[in-house]
Amino acid sequence: MRKDELIKPTISSLVKEKQLNNGQTSKNGSQTFKTGTTTVGLTCKDAVILGTDKRATMAYFVASKTSEKLHKIQDHLWMTIAGGVADAMYLVDVLRAETTLYQLQREKKIKIKSAGKILSNILYQNKMTPYEVGLILGGVTEEEGPVLLDIGAYGSILPEKFCSVGSGQNFSYGVLEAKYKEGLTIKQGMDIVQKAITSSIIRDMASGNGIDLVAITKDGPAERKFIPIKE
């Protein structure tokens, strides 16, 4: 055994577990805070519906009641964010810039799966020091139809009919599994997403303060609305 190993302090597995449960990280000795949210997406017959709550938290503190978690990348392409706000907002800006350059050069809309691959590559290249995010990318093009992508912090891409990301996802999935079916209308899809997020707001203390919804179609601007929630 080396001399430096003899004087190096040891941390038991119980202490390590307690630090993780308290929201601490040993990567650089600094403390981080657990964050929470509920983001939901599903595909309809001719549209993609995305929805989020409005609350941003740091541990048990409500940091914002008007947080923006639903972002337009292009007219036909939107994204929800969960996790670290700074990381997520940086990725929104980068993806918006990259997709705009693509469309200016080619004079056509970028495909949803192509935009997802750009984002996946950015995340994968930084997997040793990953962005602390969970993202849902959704949109509609003439060639692809409605596309919904669940994109993980390491760059994984999971095409889905419906998905949820965030601390309230377990409660939302119960509603999505029970209510989702093929061929939903836009109104039916928005109602299901609203109910899914409402179920999370009721049970998840990190989610709340209203619901942002958007319906994305290939024709015309996306339909967006805010629904206040009495708590």
Query: Sign of torsion, CA 42 139 151 53?
Result: negative
What tokens were used for 90?
Answer: 């940086």
Q: Within a 10 A sphere around the Cβ of 178, how many other Cβ atoms? A: 10
Ordered strands of the 70-74 beta sheet: 70-74, 77-83, 133-141, 145-151, 157-159
Three-state secondary-structure class, residue 95 = helix
Report which secondary-structure segment, H or E, holds 188: helix 186-203
CATH of domain 36-227: 3.60.20.10
What stretches of 59-162 show up as alpha helix (H) in DSSP? 85-106, 112-125
Rounded Cα–Cα distance for residues 170 and 15 (Å): 28
What per-residue confidence (pLDDT) applies to 36?
A: 79
What tokens were used for 158?
Answer: 């999971």
Query: How do the domains of the chain map onto residue ranges?
Result: 36-227
What per-residue confidence (pLDDT) applies to 228?
A: 92
**C-beta separation of 217 from 51 below 8 A:** no
Look up the pTM and report it.
0.84
Q: Which amino acid is at 83?
A: G
What per-residue confidence (pLDDT) applies to 231?
A: 61
Residue 37 among the catalytic residues: yes
Out of 35, 37, 198, 217, the active site residue is: 37
Tens of pLDDT along the chain (231 residues) come to 454 444 444 444 443 444 444 444 434 443 434 467 999 999 999 999 999 999 998 888 898 899 999 999 999 999 999 999 999 999 999 999 999 999 999 999 999 999 999 999 999 999 989 999 999 999 999 999 999 999 999 999 999 999 999 999 999 999 999 999 999 999 999 999 999 999 999 999 899 999 999 999 988 789 999 999 876
* DSSP, residue by residue, 100-126: HHHHHHHTSPPPHHHHHHHHHHHHHHT
